A and B are shown apart, each in its own frame.
Chain A
Amino acid sequence: MRDDLGMLVRDMKAVGSPFRQYLNRLYERHRGNTEGAVATYIPELARANPQWFGVAAMTVDGQQFGVGDSQQPFTIQSVSKPFVFGQALSEHGRAKVAQRVGVEPLGEAFNSYIKLDANSKRPHNPMVNAGAIATAGLITGADPTLRLRKLLTMFEAFAGHPLNVDVGVFVSEKTTGHRNRAIAHLMLNFGMIEPDIDQTLDLYFQQCSVLVTAQDLAAMAATLANHGVNPVTGVRAIPEDYIRDVLSVMYTCGMYDYAGEWAYTVGLPAKSGVSGGVIAVVPGKLGIAVFSPLLDVKGNSVRGIKVCEDMSADLGLHTFAPTSKLDELLGK
């Protein structure tokens, strides 16, 4: 039975909570920061409004928080990668996935030269484009429509409602994705992906073109924080056993060639994308998402990084920090 009363009380507590006040202050603190530039490598992304800035969070008991442009849709881009990695693990298990993609941080910039491991010929990890394309190639299904449907169903389970592909961005990615096409050919040369690379690339471009809001990403991150179950719908999105795989690679490889610095200062599993989205996971507690399309030279959202850095420092969220102030702010 739906617990409407319980849900109402939870929503009210979220709006009245000191954590919401904290997020408001955090938002105001970084609102005026206009450093960075919007990604231009595909024309559709260059159309983003540089002023867009939204912060969202969801607790593992389903309290939702959103400030600024937290309902503004944008394409998920590389933030899709850990979720598709999780789907590949769900379908094939650890051993098979490990044959196709490693878990070694590369310190690779989002637009770097193509690198595969010299010995195994595997991509280094599922967070770089080569690894993500190899991971997309592991998604099974009788035809391209069913494979896409499978990914959208997985995204829906994480976000808590249906998500769709932005066709304009997908076509833009597909017609300009020469570098990704080259990556796929190189991997095909080494026999690391199935021969039908056009279909695999289409699926990869589609997964990057899924429309989300910061609120959706917070729900997806909260699902990872909540051992794979969406806190609001109660739907399982990924077997609990693979949460550690996904969070581990996010922790070590999620922020391009800023990953080491990130793990050291912020200390949370995270993933960023060139459209300006960043997610961070506080396991067992909270999912965080920031959206701001202004990127630094490493391809990470400037305000996305600042907000996560501040939250980690202010609230003691670093994985190895002794105490967290989060429970106190959430009134627990």
Chain B
Amino acid sequence: MSKTISIHSFRGGTGKSNLTASIACIVAARGKRVAVIDTDVQSPGIHILFGLGEGKVHRTLNDYLWGRCPVEETATDVTPGPVREAGGSVRLIPSSLSPGEIARVLREGYDVGRLIDGIHALNQRLELDYLFIDTHPGLNEETLLSITISDALAVVLRPDSQDYQGSAVTVELARKLDVPRLLLVVNKIPAAFEPAVIAEKVAKAYGAPVAGTLPECAEMMQLASSDIFALRYPDHPMTAAIRDIASQLVD
């Protein structure tokens, strides 16, 4: 039975996509069949991390949403070398970066029910162990639906008042939607802050466990989304922390 896991943040720039890519690869490297779906159709991006630049994307989630192809045809094998050696696989379902496709989504919207049907179909037809959903920041219909059908949800936030307040809304909705497992991840913590204090504060404020606290990280900045952090820096303390978060999400 496959598990669906949503990674969400209320605002952009929290490092959600980078974290999602690393977690997906860490889990896959345990010999699992994993897929990542970019439901951020308004502002897609995670495909870059997997090296699917312009010209390399064949089919996108948009093709499925408009009925041009079955959903499994939109999945591209992006399994990195180390993951393959470990007996795992990663597939990516990217959203289109074509201005015309994004414009169509913005003008017409799409049937979110079809998105949910697609997620169920991916789980079954690709025989996945885990499907990670990289959601659109903020709250919109597809984000709420992703949360609704997820077995676990990670809310990524920075130690910032706007993030704190926005994430409170996400957490309240996720509770009402009965998501079975809800975890918080505090990312991009400045060096001047004490992570343990922040973790305690956040856990208390939201009444939910903090799966990890991650510092602002120079190597991550330098990487500039050109690669997957956990694979590039397997021995970095940050990778160890992400590994720990991954375990809490999938176990």
Contact = CB atoms under 8 A, between A and B. Distances in A.
Interface of A: 5-6, 8-9, 12-13, 15-16, 20-21, 24, 331
Interface of B: 112-113, 116-117, 120, 141, 144-145, 147-149, 173, 176-178
Contacts of A15: 112-113, 116, 145, 148
The SS class assigned to the B binding surface is helix
A9 B176 contact: yes
A12 B144 contact: yes
Nearest to A67: B113
18 contacts: A5-B173, A5-B176, A8-B144, A9-B173, A9-B177, A12-B141, A12-B144, A12-B148, A12-B177, A13-B177, A15-B112, A15-B116, A16-B116, A16-B148, A16-B149, A20-B113, A21-B120, A331-B178
Most buried by A among B148, B173, B177, B178: B148
Contacts, number: 31
B177 A24 contact: no
B153 to A, nearest CB: 13
B145 A21 contact: no
Contacts of A13: 148, 177-178
B141 to A, nearest CB: 8
Contacts of B147: 12
B176 A24 contact: no
A12 B145 contact: yes
**Closest 4 CB pairs between A and B?**
A16-B148, A16-B149, A9-B176, A12-B144
Contacts of B173: 5, 9
Nearest to B117: A24
A179 to B, nearest CB: 43
Contacts of A16: 116, 145, 148-149
Given A20-B113, A331-B178, 16 more contacts: A5-B173, A5-B176, A6-B176, A8-B144, A9-B173, A9-B177, A12-B147, A13-B177, A15-B112, A15-B116, A15-B145, A15-B148, A16-B145, A16-B148, A20-B116, A21-B117
Contacts of B148: 12-13, 15-16
A8 B147 CA distance: 13
A24 B147 CA distance: 21
Most buried by B among A8, A13, A16: A16
Nearest to A66: B113
A325 B144 CA distance: 26
A15 B120 CA distance: 12
A329 B120 CA distance: 15
A157 to B, nearest CB: 28
A24 to B, nearest CB: 7
A8 B176 CA distance: 10
A72 to B, nearest CB: 16
A20 B149 CA distance: 12
Nearest to B173: A9
A21 B120 CA distance: 9
Contacts of A331: 178
A15 B176 CA distance: 15
Contacts of B176: 5-6, 9
B6 to A, nearest CB: 12
A16 B180 CA distance: 14
A5 B177 CA distance: 11
Contacts of B113: 15, 20
A24 B117 CA distance: 9
Contacts of B120: 21
A13 B174 CA distance: 11
